[in-house]
Amino acid sequence: MLFLKRFLGSFHHRCNRITDPGMKTLGRAIKMLVSIQNISFDFQLCKEIKNKGIYELGKALKNRHTLQSITFDLSGCNKIDDGGIRNLDQGLKTLTSLRKINLDFQLCPRIGDTGLLHLGQTLKKLIALQDINFNFGQCREINDSGLNHLSQAFKTMNSLRSMTLNFYDCKDITDFGLENLGQNLRRLSSLQNIDFDFTNCDEISNEGLENLSKSLKDLSSLRSMSFNFYACKEINDTGINELCQNLKVLGSLKNLELYFKRCNKISNTGMNHIGQVLKHLDELQSLSLDFTDCERISDTGIENLSRGFSLISSLQSLNLYFERCNKITDLGMNILGEAMKNMRDLQSIELIFMKCYQITQTGQDDFREALTTLPCLKNIFIIFPSEK
């Protein structure tokens, strides 16, 4: 039995053994909360929850006009399918004051394009939304059609400030899906944060990255951007160039994160493109670059990148990941160390050069010595290669 204060402002519930009857009980409890503004449900790995349970939850949310923020973690609830999203939407679509929504359906393999169609139709009615966070990681029934259904709703969401989309391991998403996403982002001139994860979507190539990147020219308010294309192995230096050409206009960007781990066709030329674009991002405060397993990158690539570092004196946080980039040597570390001496505001660094066996103890020591010249540096985390 749930005992809840009738005028509770926020409600968080977590249980990994709840079933559909329990969801009905929870729904009745929610209806008692007259002035509720924030609700968070954590049902991670509740594998006995089915569409019927989600129906009870959706019904309880109907016309809760005071609600401003909702979080549903249903990751691993693998009996929920597209009908479950439809059932949830019956309540969501009535929440006209909702400003933030966070839905996690990772590892719900029965969810597909129809579920995203339902969700997209609901989003069009939530005109006050400012922040959306959707995780459909490993929902492998989702393809370009589903992504298009969802992104069609973005065209009318003029209040949106932050967008996080995770389609990790949705292997049927291709360049065409990213083209539609990019086109539907262009009207969101107030968008300040984007975080897109297409890890292991190995049908995505340079064309998809280019099509998505073109939307950046219209997102003049953007302050934070994260792209994750881990293991999208068809992306090479050409794709990096297209991305960087469109990044140039984002002069007000404060945070940039680019993850291209295991995109092993990226080489020193790609590093040159990134180094070149950094000089246009003179307000950048935080930078994360992941090129783990990009074995074509050598000292020349580090030099190309370092030219850009010497021009962004505003940087406060730097994360670089070059694990198993075996062509990087002491020379590359020396060049990087010299470039970092210009980063007088740098406060935190995380550098991973694990298994770069041509970096010797001398190179490591010289690099650490260069860091002692940075007056604001407080947090240092570095992994160099162990001896063979």
Distance CA 232, CA 134 (A): 21
Residue 129 has pLDDT above 70, yes or no: yes
Distance CA 238, CA 167 (A): 23
CA-wise closest residue to 185 among 223, 158, 145: 158
Distance CA 249, CA 281 (A): 8
**Residue 343, strand partner residues:** none
Residue 75 token pair: 């990751």
In the prediction, which pLDDT does 316 show? 97
In the prediction, which pLDDT does 234 show? 97
Q: pLDDT confidence of 159, banded at 50, 70, 90?
A: very high
DSSP string spanning 65-83? TT--EEEEE-TT-TT-BHH
Q: Contact, 343 vs 306, CB < 8 A?
A: no
Residue 8 has pLDDT above 50, yes or no: no
Q: Which residues contact 235 (CB under 8 A, 6 or more apart)?
A: 204, 205, 206, 209, 229, 260, 263, 265, 266
Residue 387 has pLDDT above 90, yes or no: no
Residue 11 has pLDDT above 70, yes or no: no
Tens-digit pLDDT profile for residues 291-311:
999 999 999 999 999 999 988
Residue 388 has pLDDT above 50, yes or no: no
Distance CA 69, CA 373 (A): 45
In the prediction, which pLDDT does 10 show? 54
The residue-averaged pLDDT of 17-28 equals 89
| Mean pLDDT for all residues in the chain | 93
In this prediction the pTM is: 0.94
Per-position b or e across 274-290, b if 16+ CB within 10 A of its CB = bbbbbebbeebbbbbbb
Task: Report all structural domains of the chain as residue ranges with CATH numbers, in order of start.
Answer: 10-290 (3.80.10.10)
Tens-digit pLDDT profile for residues 210-264:
999 999 999 999 999 999 999 999 999 999 999 999 999 999 999 999 999 999 9
The residue-averaged pLDDT of 5-18 equals 56
The residue-averaged pLDDT of 24-47 equals 88
Q: Which residues contact 154 (CB under 8 A, 6 or more apart)?
A: 123, 160, 163, 184, 185, 187, 188
Angle between helical axes of 144-152 and 175-185 (0-180°, round to 10): 0
The residue-averaged pLDDT of 60-86 equals 94
In the prediction, which pLDDT does 6 show? 40
Distance CA 52, CA 246 (A): 46
